[in-house]
Structure 1
Amino acid sequence: MNFQHKTVIITGAANGIGEAIAYGYAKEGARVVLADIDEEKGKYLEEQLRKGSYEAYFKKTD
């Protein structure tokens, strides 16, 4: 499926299934918004996705 020019919000994105889903959507061309309470891991994931030339943004949520 093509997610070019789409934005996907992933809750619980910093770990486990949420992280895998974030990578999956990013690889399909989506802009991903990573929402999680764990700021350290969320920012790290954002950094890793951006290093892979994906568009990713972390937002701390509760």
Structure 2
Amino acid sequence: MCARPAGRSTDSAPATRRAVARRARVALAHHVTAVRLTRRLLETAEFTCGLMTKPAPSWLRA
């Protein structure tokens, strides 16, 4: 059994874990790319998305 800090409810634990995970992902992205991800950068960035179908294996093509 682990002790909980005083004043901390169990309801905030999942939210806290999500917040820590989000900060860790941003820190990893910064470390890997050397680009500081800021709110302004993400809000003003333009994204291009695409969709590609997976080609059928050669033995299915007749």
Give the TM-score category using the shorter length. Answer: under 0.3
Q: Which has the higher strand share?
A: 1
Using the size of structure 1 for normalisation, the TM-score is 0.28
Larger Cα Rg: Structure 1 or Structure 2?
2
Q: Which one has more relative contact order, counting CA pairs under 8 Å at least 6 apart?
A: 1
Using the size of structure 2 for normalisation, the TM-score is 0.28
Q: Which has the higher helix share?
A: 2
